[in-house]
Structure 1
Amino acid sequence: MTIKFAAAAAAIFLACTAQAPAAHAEKTLDISNYELTFEDNFDSLDVSPWGPDTQWIAHTPWNGDFGIARFANPEDGFPFTTDDGVLRIEARKDNLGRWRTGLLASVNPEFEGFKQQYGYFEISTKLPEGKGFWPAFWLIARDERYSLEIDVIEHYGSKPDRYSITVHERYPFAAEKNQMTHHYVDIEPGELYEDFHTFGVDITKETLDFYFDRERVWSVDTPENHTKPLAVLLNLALGGASQPDASTPSPSYMHVDYVRVWKRREES
């Protein structure tokens, strides 16, 4: 997400590229030839600050926070609650006016946990309305030579008529190779706040095909450095390109119906 490696992003120039898509997937996604490999329907929540033995951790697997809100360790009733199969991630100000909120990652700092290289990754979510909110669903792969980040959705509360998709390629020892490929998806103003919608990416060796409510909205070539499995992250951040102000409601909530991942049967 634009940047989860926030300090690095400020220091490194990312070359933006406009790619013509390779062979398109079908406009409407058909997952009849896929099998489910990961599913959380949030009937309950298995989370801890750093793992190692829980399905989720409550921080990024590397070095903590980004944006202007601190990602809180889970405690009774905050920042995560589940009710009737829906996860609620809460953002609110503390007594000193500082924002606290929640993030979930499917791997721990040793990158142990759920990760997968190819397949279809999807979230069903309803987002909060208000300036400064920065909810996201994103994937990350890392090793000592590079990192790949796929932002399936980032939404800035100051732009209620769109959300963004971004693919980041970062090379710690060859910064001149860094790239960021970016796309905006236009929506009806307020549409993402009124009901649940699905956001997904179908990853193959050739293309990344992005979907909104199972309809394809963008495709790009799969980066050459995609050689490692991807972990899953979701969060309700604040800041980035959209700063909160006095009108930003506290508390506010990101609701998540499910997170699911599939793999094509021939890739099993």
Structure 2
Amino acid sequence: MRLKLLVLIGCLVSAPPTFAQDPLADAPRKLSLAATREPVSAQCRRVENAGPSNLAPVVLRRTFNDDFNVHPLAHGRWVPHYAGGAMWPEAQYWGGSTSQLRRQTKPNGEQQIYVDPRYAGLAKKPLGLNPFRVRNGVLSIVASRTPPELKPVLFNNAYISGILTTQGWFSQKYGYFEIRAKVPVGTGVWPAFWMLADDGGWPPEIDVLEGRGQRPGDLVMTTHWRIPTTQKIESCGFDFQLADAALAFHNYGMLWAQDRIIYFIDRKPVSDIKVPIGFDDPMYMIVNLAMGSKWFGGVGVVDGESPEMVEFQIDRISAYQIDPFQPYKPPQPQGAQPIKASFEGESDAR
């Protein structure tokens, strides 16, 4: 989601209805998905109406799960800022004039700063700001207007909000990554669940879910990569309409196989793309609630119509790896070598 000065391919589509008793609420240790099996190209395509003959089962085992029964910073699985690499002093994550660089992406036109109880900004001691709330197993990342008296020490940002990343703790190459969430709306509201390469490079980037706050129910799923010969950034993705996305929990996921990336809504495939060049390293997960954007359409800049407070409610975030004993095998072009099973990633976290 971040670092985007990009134009996405936009369209609207009807998505699966909500179930009264949702069978997708739990995160089983093993999961089977119906994945697209037809050959894919570098140009992404919609597949939301794929028939059974165009799908193949892929069996997965869980490698990461957080049900958010406790504060997300209580167990060390998440960090509340972007990582700066090995050369970035630890102290600069928690305050000082350069700490802003790890707590927002200014070129996007963001008008929030990501805080946590340890963060001091330009003050001499931690400000004790907590944008994370846990209630009944649901995490809320809360964006609220910055108290006027704190603006000078928070780089004059209009909002305080939160970000969580697994960089340095959990990353994985290949597999299925899923968030179960309600997608908030409002002028300037920009929630996202996305992934970056663990080596710190950009792109590649996978945006499993982004919300356009000014367009309720409009959800974006996008792949970003770089052409090595020209260094040009390419993007391919779609908008999907889910009318009750702000009111009901839904599952938003992405399967990264050796030959393709497939996006899912409520575990039904909605689009796919051939894995672009440059997707060589494990990727880590990021979930955040930004406020304000210059470039991402349908978000807008913060103004008097923006909510005083808004919550990104998250029931669960999970990751799975493709079962090496029951690997996903889409059909190969004539004369091609069969795909070997891959098994890269972390051990089960729960």
TM > 0.5 fold call: yes
- Asked if the contact 2:116–2:129 (Cα under 8 Å) also holds between the matched residues in 1, the reply is no
- 1:176 counterpart = 2:219: no
Please state how far the C-alpha of 1:72 moved relative to its aligned partner: 0.9
The number of equivalent residue pairs is: 249
Please state how far the C-alpha of 1:163 moved relative to its aligned partner: 1.3
- 1:101 counterpart = 2:99: no
CA RMSD of aligned residues (A): 3.0
After superposition, the C-alpha distances for 1:134-156 in whole angstroms (9 at most, x for unaligned) are 00000111547753100011111
Aligned partner (choices 280, 284, 297) of residue 227 of structure 1: 280
- 1:5 counterpart = 2:29: no
**3-state SS of 1:128 partner:** coil
Aligned partner (choices 71, 84, 89) of residue 114 of structure 2: 71
- Asked if the contact 2:8–2:237 (Cα under 8 Å) also holds between the matched residues in 1, the reply is no
Residue 59 (structure 1) aligns with: 81
Judge which range, 18-27 or 35-44, deviates more: 18-27
Superposition pairs for residues 82-93 of structure 1, below 5 Å? 82-93=134-145
- 1:166 counterpart = 2:219: no
**Cα distance between partner residues in 2 of 1:99 and 1:28:** 44
- Give the counterpart letter for 2:146 in structure 1: D
- Asked if the contact 1:152–1:210 (Cα under 8 Å) also holds between the matched residues in 2, the reply is yes
Give me the TM-score of the superposition, normalised by structure 1.
0.82
- Give the counterpart letter for 1:137 in structure 2: F
After superposition, the C-alpha distances for 1:220-258 in whole angstroms (9 at most, x for unaligned) are 111121110010000111112322322222211111000
- Give the counterpart letter for 1:87 in structure 2: L
- 1:19 counterpart = 2:43: yes
Please state how far the C-alpha of 1:192 moved relative to its aligned partner: 1.2
**3-state SS of 1:244 partner:** coil
The percent of aligned pairs where both chains have the same amino acid is 26
Structure showing the higher strand proportion among its residues? 1
Gaps in structure 1 of 5+ consecutive residues: none
**3-state SS of 1:56 partner:** coil
Gaps in structure 2 of 5+ consecutive residues: 10-40, 85-100, 119-127, 152-157, 325-341, 344-350
Give me the TM-score of the superposition, normalised by structure 2.
0.64
For residues 159 and 46 of structure 1, do their structure 2 counterparts lie closer, same or farther at Cα, with a shift above 3 Å needed? closer
Residue 45 (structure 1) aligns with: 71
- Asked if the contact 2:8–2:238 (Cα under 8 Å) also holds between the matched residues in 1, the reply is no
**Cα distance between partner residues in 2 of 1:154 and 1:56:** 20
**Cα distance between partner residues in 2 of 1:186 and 1:144:** 32
Please state how far the C-alpha of 1:68 moved relative to its aligned partner: 1.4
- Asked if the contact 1:163–1:184 (Cα under 8 Å) also holds between the matched residues in 2, the reply is yes
**Cα distance between partner residues in 2 of 1:56 and 1:22:** 33
For residues 99 and 263 of structure 1, do their structure 2 counterparts lie closer, same or farther at Cα, with a shift above 3 Å needed? same
- Asked if the contact 2:184–2:211 (Cα under 8 Å) also holds between the matched residues in 1, the reply is no
- Give the counterpart letter for 1:128 in structure 2: P
- Asked if the contact 2:163–2:286 (Cα under 8 Å) also holds between the matched residues in 1, the reply is yes
